[in-house]
Amino acid sequence: MQNNILEFINLSVAYTPEKKAIENVSAVIAENSVTAIMGPSGCGKSTLLRAINRMHDLYPEIQTTGKILLRGENIFRMNAMQVRRRAGMVFQRPNPFPTMSIYDNVIAGYKLNGISLGRAEKDEIVELSLRRVAMWDEVKDSLVKKGSFLSGGQQQRLCIARSLALKPEIILMDEPTSALDPISTNRIEDLILELKQQYTIIIVTHNMSQAARISDRSMFMYLGQLIEYGDTKQMFTKPADKRTEEYLTGVFG
Protein backbone atom coordinates (compact mmCIF):
# COMPACT_ATOMS: atom_id res chain seq x y z
CA MET A 1 0.00 0.00 0.00
CA GLN A 2 1.45 3.34 -1.06
CA ASN A 3 1.65 6.20 1.40
CA ASN A 4 0.11 9.50 0.42
CA ILE A 5 2.54 12.39 0.26
CA LEU A 6 0.34 15.27 -0.91
CA GLU A 7 -3.30 16.24 -0.48
CA PHE A 8 -5.33 19.06 -2.02
CA ILE A 9 -8.31 20.12 0.09
CA ASN A 10 -10.83 22.48 -1.55
CA LEU A 11 -8.01 24.33 -3.30
CA SER A 12 -9.01 27.41 -5.30
CA VAL A 13 -6.74 29.93 -7.02
CA ALA A 14 -8.08 33.22 -8.41
CA TYR A 15 -6.14 35.61 -10.63
CA THR A 16 -8.91 38.20 -10.31
CA PRO A 17 -11.77 38.36 -7.76
CA GLU A 18 -14.32 37.38 -10.46
CA LYS A 19 -12.38 34.56 -12.10
CA LYS A 20 -11.12 31.41 -10.41
CA ALA A 21 -8.40 29.65 -12.39
CA ILE A 22 -9.03 26.51 -10.35
CA GLU A 23 -11.98 25.86 -8.08
CA ASN A 24 -12.40 23.50 -5.10
CA VAL A 25 -9.87 20.89 -6.19
CA SER A 26 -9.53 17.97 -3.77
CA ALA A 27 -7.25 15.00 -4.47
CA VAL A 28 -4.62 12.80 -2.85
CA ILE A 29 -1.23 12.00 -4.44
CA ALA A 30 0.59 8.75 -3.62
CA GLU A 31 4.30 8.67 -2.85
CA ASN A 32 6.70 7.31 -5.51
CA SER A 33 4.14 7.65 -8.28
CA VAL A 34 3.83 9.66 -11.49
CA THR A 35 0.65 11.73 -11.72
CA ALA A 36 -0.25 13.39 -15.03
CA ILE A 37 -2.41 16.52 -15.11
CA MET A 38 -4.21 16.78 -18.46
CA GLY A 39 -6.79 19.05 -20.03
CA PRO A 40 -7.23 21.71 -22.72
CA SER A 41 -5.29 24.99 -22.65
CA GLY A 42 -6.40 27.37 -19.92
CA CYS A 43 -8.09 24.69 -17.80
CA GLY A 44 -5.90 25.27 -14.73
CA LYS A 45 -3.23 22.55 -15.09
CA SER A 46 -0.20 24.78 -14.59
CA THR A 47 -2.01 26.84 -11.96
CA LEU A 48 -2.53 23.68 -9.90
CA LEU A 49 1.09 22.60 -10.35
CA ARG A 50 2.49 26.01 -9.38
CA ALA A 51 0.34 26.17 -6.26
CA ILE A 52 2.26 23.17 -4.91
CA ASN A 53 5.53 25.07 -4.55
CA ARG A 54 3.98 28.41 -3.69
CA MET A 55 4.90 30.15 -6.96
CA HIS A 56 1.69 32.19 -6.73
CA ASP A 57 3.16 33.92 -3.67
CA LEU A 58 5.31 35.90 -6.09
CA TYR A 59 2.19 37.72 -7.37
CA PRO A 60 0.28 39.46 -4.55
CA GLU A 61 -2.91 39.84 -6.63
CA ILE A 62 -3.35 36.04 -6.87
CA GLN A 63 -5.65 34.71 -4.13
CA THR A 64 -5.32 31.11 -2.95
CA THR A 65 -7.80 29.40 -0.61
CA GLY A 66 -8.05 25.86 0.71
CA LYS A 67 -5.14 23.66 1.77
CA ILE A 68 -2.30 21.65 0.30
CA LEU A 69 -0.90 19.16 2.79
CA LEU A 70 2.65 17.90 2.32
CA ARG A 71 3.03 14.85 4.57
CA GLY A 72 0.11 16.18 6.60
CA GLU A 73 1.49 19.71 7.02
CA ASN A 74 -0.23 22.69 5.38
CA ILE A 75 2.29 24.21 2.94
CA PHE A 76 0.70 27.65 3.30
CA ARG A 77 1.88 27.70 6.92
CA MET A 78 5.42 26.63 6.04
CA ASN A 79 8.39 28.73 4.98
CA ALA A 80 8.03 29.21 1.20
CA MET A 81 11.73 28.51 0.52
CA GLN A 82 11.42 25.26 2.49
CA VAL A 83 8.39 24.27 0.38
CA ARG A 84 10.34 24.97 -2.83
CA ARG A 85 13.23 22.83 -1.65
CA ARG A 86 10.87 19.94 -0.93
CA ALA A 87 8.93 20.37 -4.21
CA GLY A 88 11.30 21.24 -7.07
CA MET A 89 10.04 22.67 -10.37
CA VAL A 90 11.11 21.87 -13.93
CA PHE A 91 9.69 24.18 -16.60
CA GLN A 92 8.51 23.78 -20.17
CA ARG A 93 11.59 25.28 -21.80
CA PRO A 94 15.00 24.20 -20.57
CA ASN A 95 16.30 27.17 -18.56
CA PRO A 96 19.86 26.62 -17.35
CA PHE A 97 21.33 29.87 -16.00
CA PRO A 98 23.16 31.10 -19.12
CA THR A 99 26.11 32.76 -17.37
CA MET A 100 26.81 29.79 -15.09
CA SER A 101 28.89 26.69 -15.74
CA ILE A 102 27.28 23.25 -15.76
CA TYR A 103 28.75 22.67 -12.29
CA ASP A 104 27.36 25.94 -10.87
CA ASN A 105 23.97 25.32 -12.50
CA VAL A 106 23.56 22.07 -10.58
CA ILE A 107 24.21 23.68 -7.18
CA ALA A 108 22.56 27.03 -7.98
CA GLY A 109 19.66 26.27 -5.60
CA TYR A 110 22.02 26.26 -2.63
CA LYS A 111 23.43 29.65 -3.58
CA LEU A 112 19.94 31.09 -4.14
CA ASN A 113 18.86 29.80 -0.72
CA GLY A 114 21.97 31.23 0.97
CA ILE A 115 23.29 27.78 1.92
CA SER A 116 27.08 27.53 1.86
CA LEU A 117 28.74 24.18 1.19
CA GLY A 118 32.32 22.96 1.28
CA ARG A 119 34.02 22.03 -1.98
CA ALA A 120 33.93 18.29 -1.34
CA GLU A 121 30.20 18.43 -0.56
CA LYS A 122 29.52 20.47 -3.71
CA ASP A 123 31.51 17.99 -5.81
CA GLU A 124 29.54 15.08 -4.37
CA ILE A 125 26.14 16.75 -4.96
CA VAL A 126 27.06 17.72 -8.54
CA GLU A 127 28.27 14.22 -9.44
CA LEU A 128 25.34 12.44 -7.78
CA SER A 129 22.74 14.79 -9.32
CA LEU A 130 24.22 14.44 -12.82
CA ARG A 131 24.45 10.65 -12.43
CA ARG A 132 20.77 10.55 -11.47
CA VAL A 133 19.85 12.15 -14.81
CA ALA A 134 22.35 9.94 -16.73
CA MET A 135 24.55 12.91 -17.67
CA TRP A 136 27.71 12.50 -15.64
CA ASP A 137 29.62 10.56 -18.30
CA GLU A 138 28.48 13.05 -20.97
CA VAL A 139 29.65 16.19 -19.16
CA LYS A 140 32.21 15.23 -16.46
CA ASP A 141 35.05 16.69 -18.56
CA SER A 142 33.07 19.85 -19.43
CA LEU A 143 31.77 20.98 -16.03
CA VAL A 144 33.32 24.44 -16.41
CA LYS A 145 31.51 25.06 -19.70
CA LYS A 146 28.29 27.08 -19.78
CA GLY A 147 25.02 25.15 -19.54
CA SER A 148 23.92 26.80 -22.78
CA PHE A 149 26.55 24.79 -24.70
CA LEU A 150 24.45 21.63 -24.20
CA SER A 151 21.74 20.32 -26.53
CA GLY A 152 18.08 21.03 -25.68
CA GLY A 153 17.56 17.57 -24.19
CA GLN A 154 20.75 17.81 -22.14
CA GLN A 155 19.74 21.27 -20.91
CA GLN A 156 16.43 19.89 -19.67
CA ARG A 157 18.20 17.02 -17.90
CA LEU A 158 20.55 19.61 -16.36
CA CYS A 159 17.50 21.49 -15.07
CA ILE A 160 16.18 18.24 -13.56
CA ALA A 161 19.62 17.66 -11.97
CA ARG A 162 19.46 21.21 -10.54
CA SER A 163 16.11 20.34 -8.97
CA LEU A 164 17.39 17.00 -7.59
CA ALA A 165 20.47 18.65 -6.04
CA LEU A 166 18.28 20.16 -3.30
CA LYS A 167 17.04 16.65 -2.36
CA PRO A 168 13.33 17.29 -2.97
CA GLU A 169 10.55 14.86 -2.15
CA ILE A 170 8.38 15.92 -5.10
CA ILE A 171 9.38 16.94 -8.63
CA LEU A 172 6.92 19.17 -10.46
CA MET A 173 7.23 19.19 -14.26
CA ASP A 174 5.34 21.65 -16.46
CA GLU A 175 5.29 20.18 -19.98
CA PRO A 176 8.98 19.24 -19.68
CA THR A 177 9.29 17.69 -23.15
CA SER A 178 7.14 20.00 -25.29
CA ALA A 179 10.20 21.91 -26.57
CA LEU A 180 12.24 18.74 -27.25
CA ASP A 181 12.73 16.40 -30.20
CA PRO A 182 11.37 12.80 -30.01
CA ILE A 183 14.71 11.22 -28.98
CA SER A 184 15.24 13.72 -26.14
CA THR A 185 11.58 13.25 -25.14
CA ASN A 186 12.10 9.48 -24.86
CA ARG A 187 15.15 10.00 -22.66
CA ILE A 188 13.24 12.33 -20.31
CA GLU A 189 10.33 9.86 -20.14
CA ASP A 190 12.71 7.00 -19.30
CA LEU A 191 14.31 9.22 -16.68
CA ILE A 192 10.92 10.01 -15.11
CA LEU A 193 10.17 6.29 -14.78
CA GLU A 194 13.56 5.76 -13.08
CA LEU A 195 13.19 8.76 -10.78
CA LYS A 196 9.83 7.66 -9.41
CA GLN A 197 11.66 4.96 -7.44
CA GLN A 198 12.97 7.77 -5.21
CA TYR A 199 10.69 10.75 -5.86
CA THR A 200 7.04 11.60 -6.38
CA ILE A 201 6.51 13.21 -9.79
CA ILE A 202 3.61 15.38 -10.94
CA ILE A 203 3.66 16.31 -14.61
CA VAL A 204 1.49 18.66 -16.64
CA THR A 205 1.24 17.38 -20.19
CA HIS A 206 -0.73 18.15 -23.34
CA ASN A 207 0.55 14.89 -24.76
CA MET A 208 -2.03 12.23 -23.99
CA SER A 209 0.11 9.37 -25.25
CA GLN A 210 2.87 10.57 -22.90
CA ALA A 211 0.44 10.49 -19.97
CA ALA A 212 -0.58 6.96 -20.98
CA ARG A 213 3.07 5.84 -21.21
CA ILE A 214 4.51 7.20 -17.98
CA SER A 215 1.81 8.04 -15.41
CA ASP A 216 0.28 5.81 -12.77
CA ARG A 217 -2.68 8.13 -12.18
CA SER A 218 -4.15 10.97 -14.20
CA MET A 219 -6.16 14.09 -13.48
CA PHE A 220 -8.44 15.57 -16.12
CA MET A 221 -9.07 19.28 -15.59
CA TYR A 222 -11.66 21.34 -17.44
CA LEU A 223 -12.59 25.00 -16.88
CA GLY A 224 -10.72 25.10 -13.58
CA GLN A 225 -12.36 22.01 -12.12
CA LEU A 226 -11.00 18.54 -11.49
CA ILE A 227 -13.43 16.47 -13.55
CA GLU A 228 -11.90 13.04 -13.11
CA TYR A 229 -8.94 11.55 -11.25
CA GLY A 230 -7.89 7.94 -11.13
CA ASP A 231 -5.81 5.09 -12.51
CA THR A 232 -4.42 6.14 -15.90
CA LYS A 233 -5.20 2.87 -17.72
CA GLN A 234 -8.73 2.90 -16.37
CA MET A 235 -9.26 6.53 -17.40
CA PHE A 236 -7.97 5.94 -20.93
CA THR A 237 -10.00 2.78 -21.49
CA LYS A 238 -13.16 3.52 -19.54
CA PRO A 239 -13.45 7.16 -18.45
CA ALA A 240 -16.15 7.86 -15.87
CA ASP A 241 -17.13 11.29 -17.20
CA LYS A 242 -18.35 12.13 -20.70
CA ARG A 243 -16.13 15.23 -20.85
CA THR A 244 -13.04 13.12 -20.15
CA GLU A 245 -14.03 10.73 -22.92
CA GLU A 246 -14.60 13.60 -25.36
CA TYR A 247 -11.19 15.11 -24.53
CA LEU A 248 -9.36 11.80 -24.84
CA THR A 249 -11.02 11.01 -28.17
CA GLY A 250 -10.23 14.46 -29.59
CA VAL A 251 -13.76 15.93 -29.64
CA PHE A 252 -12.27 19.04 -28.01
CA GLY A 253 -8.92 20.18 -26.64
220 has pLDDT over 90: yes
Give residue 19's pLDDT: 86
Q: Does the 4-100+169-248 domain belong in CATH 3.90.730.10?
A: no
Average pLDDT, stretch 77-82?
94
Answer whether 170's CB lies under 8 Å from 87's CB: yes
Give residue 1's pLDDT: 56
Rounded-to-integer distance, Cα 25 and Cα 47, Å: 11
Give residue 33's pLDDT: 97
Average pLDDT, stretch 113-120?
90
110 exposure class (CB count in 10 Å sphere: 0-12, 13-18, 19+): middle
Query: Over the range 126-153, which residues count as b (16 or more CB within 10 Å of their CB) and which as e?
Result: beebbebbebbeebeeebeebbeebeeb
Cα-Cα-Cα-Cα dihedral sign, residues 80, 25, 21, 48: positive
